[in-house]
Amino acid sequence: MMKITNEKISELLIIHTEGRLDAITSVEFEKEVMPMIQQSEHPVLIDFGKLDYISSAGLRTVLILAKETKKSNNSLALCSLNETILEVFRISGFDTIVSIYPTIEEWFASMK
């Protein structure tokens, strides 16, 4: 129930997600995304545009990934969160620990 793709635009890594990020899929998500982030020396963006759902397990993974980038002096950002997911982020205070952008374009703009 989880689909992950990535692309590099001028050294910047963008990871597209699709589906649900729950107790089951977040394990798999962490396994796949962690290496990408570790390898990237430039800022990373995870696109939640097609993500329908996130639970606390998903939030936990996001926190782990965010910590990892922080460790390597890199940065992690999220974009295109739908209403429900954004609310979950707000409720859990996660909007203060990761930068959230409305669109990919706005993230790009902030990079410059």
Partner 1 sequence: MKRIKNKRGLTFKLIIFIFLSVAIIFTLIFLDNYDISKKMVEKNLKLNAELITKNIVYKAEKILGSVQEIPNNFSKIIEDSSYSEAEINRILKMEVENNSEIYGACIAYEPFYFNSTKKYYAPYYYRNKKEIEFKCLGNEQYDYFIMDWYKIPKEINRPMWSEPYYDKGGGNVIMSTYSVPLYREKNGKKYFIGILTADVSLDLLREYFESIKVYKTGYAFMISKKGTYISHPIKELIINETIFSIADAQKSSEMRVIGRDMVKGESSFADTEYYNIKYNKLSRIAYAPVSLNGWSVGVVFPVDEFMKDVNNLFIRVMFLGLGGLFFICLVIIFISRSITSPLRKLSIAANKFAEGDFDFEIPPSSSNDEVGSLNKSFAHMQSALKKYIENLRLTTSAKEKIESELKIAREIQMGMIPRKFPAFPEKKEFDIYGFIEPAKEVGGDLYDFFFIDDVRLCFAIGDVSGKGTPAALFMAITTTIMRAENQIAGLNTSSVINLMNNYLCKNNEGNLFVTLFLGILNTSTGEVEYINAGHNYPFVIKSNGAVSELNTTHCIPLGISINTCSNPNTFKLEKGDTIFLYTDGVSEAFNIDDQQYSIKKISEILHNQANHTPFEIIQHIIDDVKDFSQGTEQSDDISVLAIKYLGKPLSKVPTQNYQMVIKNSIGNLSSLSEKITQLCNNWEMSSDVLNKVNLVVEELISNTIFYGYSDTFEHDIILNLMYDESTISIEIIDDAKEFNPITQKSADINSDINERQVGGLGIHLVKSLSDAFTYQREDSKNKIKIIIQF
63 CB-near residues (< 8 Å, 6+ apart): 94, 97
Q: Is 39 in the site for partner 1 (CB under 8 A)?
A: no
Q: Which of 95, 104, 84 is nearest to 12 (CA)?
A: 104
Backbone angle region of 6, left / alpha / beta, with phi > 0 → left and psi within -120 to 50 → alpha: beta
Q: Does 109 bind partner 1 (CB under 8 A)?
A: no
Min CB(34)–partner 1 separation in Å = 16
CB of 10 or CB of 72, closer to partner 1: 72
Residue 45 within binding range of partner 1, rule CB under 8 A: no
Smallest distance from partner 1 to CB 82, Å: 8
Q: At what angle do helices 25-39 and 56-71 cross, to 10 degrees?
A: 10
Q: How far is the CB of 32 from partner 1 (least distance, A)?
A: 17
Which CB atom, from 35 or from 93, has the smaller least distance to partner 1? 93
